[in-house]
A and B are shown apart, each in its own frame.
Chain A
Amino acid sequence: MTLRHKYSKILFTNKSEGNLPQLIIAENENLQSKFVVQKILELREQGTHLEEIAVLFRSSFLSFDLEIELAKANISFRKYGGFKFIETAHVKDMIAYLRVLENPRDVVAWNRILLLVDGVGPRSAEKIIEDILHRRADTSISDFWKDFNRYPHSVTELFELLKSISTDKFPPAEKASRIITYYHPMMKKKFDDHTKRKKDLEMFEQIAERYKDVGSFLTDLALEPPNESIADIEAVDRDDEHLTLSTIHSAKGLEWHSVFIIYALDGRFPTMYAANNVEELEEERRLMYVACTRAKENLFITYPINIYDRESGTILTKPSRFLEGLNDKLLEPWVVDEEG
């Protein structure tokens, strides 16, 4: 399919010519990371705050090696794109409790919290849910939570909790807090890293403080989830400056004084997948365009060579096809050289 028309435009500015953007080859991935770290430190010495610098990449996993090098160099960073707070299992558990309070017919949520109860497997969960739905199909929400005593003790306990917090007298944060107390022992059993996760739940309670009713809290969580798990925030001292690592998708609309685009390697950006399809390839090109136009003063595009691609069984060595053959006077070619 060809596009019937596009809106042609050529961007211009009254700002100065500025430094030429650079295209930098590194012999391997780690050399790429080390170069980026060194350049960031240099920029910082020259007066560019870490806040004003971003490293962008096509896919979230492409920054793993760099993250290790940054940690070694004691450079704080925040990463955007990839896993989100709301997608973690323990936060999803919390949400499920609140959801059955709000909508007692929400079977997915019921299933989730019943399976957490000691001694309840998929089959008994289904039975309990059926019972809940049939016996109480017509009762109003306020009557719904009364008289649950025919279940095993561990299940009754869950209902006791839900009943006790079903009243509108408690604000969402209070409800969350009581659920956390109930949930904590289960979390300890379920996850090895439960101390870290506990902090996420504290954060959850803190977010709940902002709401007057559970319904709007749930709606916001579903539609506008908070961006990051505390696991990401923890690495950063709040007063301290930090660098931004981001997928290009998450960098949409933002700008920085200096921008690095790493892994501008054909097969990674564009991805192998996209190379077979004109439409997808054009979307990758636009992604490169978006990445470049995030930069105000400095643009460094790097790529490692000698990267083995498991899926195709080939070694990737070429720069992104969107950049290959660009005039040296537009994009200066450089090679990372290791000294000493």
Chain B
Amino acid sequence: MKKYTIKKPAGGLHIVHPQKFQIDYKNELNKAQYDAVTSINDPHLIIAGAGTGKTRTIVYRVAYLVELGVKPEHILLLTFTRKAAQEMLRRASILLDHRCERVSGGTFHSFSNSILRKYSNLIGYERNFTILDQGDAEDVMNLIRTRLKFDTRERRFPRKETLYDLYSRSINTKASLTEILTIDYQHYLEDEQDIRKVHELYTEYKITHNTMDYDDLLLNFNKLLKQNEPVRAETSNHFKYIMVDEYQDTNKLQAEMVKLLTYKHQNIMVVGDDSQAIYAFRGATIRNILDFPDDFPGCNVIKLEENYRSTQSILNVANEILKRAID
């Protein structure tokens, strides 16, 4: 016999009449901020200049989504540090109510970690994998370098730091080893095959010993979602509204993560300022924010330009510094 139960329509938002909102969004925000906060579905890019109330905007948007009836668990907020996410959610909770504390928030790395702990067996890891920091990763490189007897050669072979740097950069920037060597380490071009060998063994080593380095957290997240349609669908369906802060300082793997996460919907808002991109040395690429409208067609761009922090004299100097930028 068939069993009949009732459930709420999937993904449906309550239609809340503006007058019923607890928060007076229109009065508490300026025009651009209000537009950002109330733009819900589809891709949005918020260009937030320094001191223009970026955090405030994110906090209000979290509250707005929750007021609309989106389940807090279905909202994902990715930030540059975990402290930033905690702070924003704390402020949203004060602004609206404690529901906002249940919003999922963290860094790309901590978010990947939480998903990987659930599904690590699908990509050949046990759940109790440990994480190698940069120093540990370099030590492993050294171990392999010695094991392959590259330490006793006549010619100079890259040191462990260089081996790791080459590895991490080729992963983060998705550039080939040949490219990176040609640009920065011309003198090691001849050793390319041997460097590749070290990197291969390094990759094997991590799997055999149930460890991941920082890049692996992102790389394996993408691998997991790419190779497993059910996990991809489940994850994307779960996180229905995604926000990313400091988008100008994300790397290529993170941009890829965003695409995978939004594949069931396009409800993504990234916030950032291309003029404040300062993490290229760690593999971040300003291209992510510049190319966002191409990566997400139909994207709506909103600019926050009213500054609440500095005097006009200070802003004049800042504006002038940017004006002389080389295009």
Contact = CB atoms under 8 A, between A and B. Distances in A.
Interface residues of B, number: 68
Contacts of A289: 50, 275-276, 318, 321-322
Interface residues of A, number: 69
A11 B305 contact: yes
B149 to A, nearest CB: 15
B312 A299 contact: no
A177 to B, nearest CB: 21
A11 B52 CA distance: 8
B278 A287 contact: yes
A11 B317 contact: no
Contacts of A255: 51, 309
A125 to B, nearest CB: 11
Contacts of B83: 224
A102 interface: yes
Interface in A1-45: 2-7, 9-21
B69 interface: no
A11 B51 contact: yes
B326 interface: yes
B280 interface: yes
Contact of B209 (A3, A107, A215, A299): A107
A109 interface: yes
A6 B327 contact: yes
Interface stretch (A61-69, A70-78, A168-176, A245-253): A245-253
Given A11-B49, A20-B313, A219 B113 contact: yes
A124 B196 CA distance: 29
A106 B276 contact: no
A3 to B, nearest CB: 6
Contact of B312 (A3, A15, A103, A293): A15
A102 B314 contact: no
B326 A281 contact: yes
A109 B51 contact: no
A322 to B, nearest CB: 5
A233 interface: no
Contacts of A60: none
Q: Which of B49, B275, B313 has the most CB of A within 10 A?
A: B313
A13 B311 contact: yes
Interface string A88-131: 00001000000100110111110110000000000000000000
Interface stretch (A158-166, A308-316, A323-331): A323-331
B139 A111 contact: yes
Contacts of B51: 11, 255, 293
A330 B278 contact: no
B315 A224 contact: no
Interface in A247-284: 248-249, 252-253, 255, 278-283
8 contacts: A5-B290, A10-B319, A111-B143, A223-B131, A279-B280, A282-B326, A292-B318, A293-B310
Interface of B: 47, 49-52, 55, 80-84, 107, 109-110, 113, 126, 128-133, 135-136, 139-140, 143, 205, 208-211, 214, 246, 274-281, 286, 290, 301, 303, 305-322, 324-327
